[in-house]
Amino acid sequence: MPDRTDYKNKWQKENVDRVNLIMPKGQKAKIQDYAKSRGESLSGFINRAIAETMDRDQSHKP
């Protein structure tokens, strides 16, 4: 019988993509603290930052 981890892994495989992000040492903690201060997770903040940047860049297309 599948356990909770099996269910979670199956769901993630079907519903999300993963990205390995590399940044300077110490930057992750700064971003996590900032995101937490805004009530967001690290992933949520990064996804929002990317989406907002893409929207902004799209509206300023040459």
One DSSP character per residue, 9-43 reads: HHHHHHH---------TTHHHHHHHHHHHTT--HH
Mean pLDDT value across residues 9-13? 94
> pTM of the entire structure?
0.76
Q: What is the pLDDT of residues 28-59, one digit of tens each?
A: 999 999 999 999 999 999 999 999 999 999 98
The answer to whether the beta carbons of residues 36 and 61 sit under 8 Å apart is no
The pLDDT score that the predictor gives to residue 34 is 98
Buried b (16+ CB within 10 A) or exposed e, 40-62: bebeebeeeeeeeeeeeeeeeee
